[in-house]
Amino acid sequence: MSRQPSVICVVGARPNFMKIAPIMRELPRAGVRPILLHTGQHYDHALNQAFFDDLSIPKPDIELEVGSASHAVQTAEIMRRFEPVLDASDAGAVLVVGDVNSTVACALVAAKKCVPVIHVEAGLRSGDRTMPEEINRIVTDALSELLFVTEREAIANLTREGVAPDKIKFSGNVMIDTLLEHAAAAPDAADVLATRGAQGGDAGSAEFIVLTLHRPSNVDEPEKLAGILNALRVCAAGTPIVFPVHPRTAAQIDRFKLSRLIGAPDYIALPPVGYLEMLGLIKGAKFVATDSGGLQEETTALGTPCITLRDNTERPVTVSEGTNTIVGSDPKTIPARVAAALANGGKRGHVPELWDGMAARRIAADVASYLSRPEMAGPT
At residue 375, does pLDDT exceed 90?
no
- State the CATH number of the domain containing residue 260: 3.40.50.2000
Residue 98 domain boundaries: 6-172+356-376
| Helix boundaries (H) for the chain | 14-29, 45-54, 71-88, 101-112, 132-143, 152-160, 174-182, 189-195, 216-219, 222-236, 247-255, 275-284, 293-302, 317-320, 334-341, 359-371
Residues 149 and 280 in one domain: no
| Of 71, 119, 182, 214, catalytic | 214
214 is catalytic: yes
Confirm whether 177 is domain-assigned: no
Residues 95 and 242 in one domain: no
Residues 127 and 148 in one domain: yes
At residue 25, does pLDDT exceed 80?
yes
Residues 166 and 262 in one domain: no
Mean pLDDT of the chain, nearest integer: 93
- Select, from the ranges 56-70, 108-122, 206-220, the one with the highest average predicted confidence (pLDDT): 108-122
Confidence at residue 380, expressed as pLDDT on a 0 to 100 scale: 41
Domains identified in the chain, total number: 2
Say what percent of the chain tops pLDDT 90. Answer: 85
pLDDT single digits (tens) 245-301: 998 899 999 999 999 999 989 999 999 999 999 999 999 999 999 999 999 999 999
pTM: 0.94
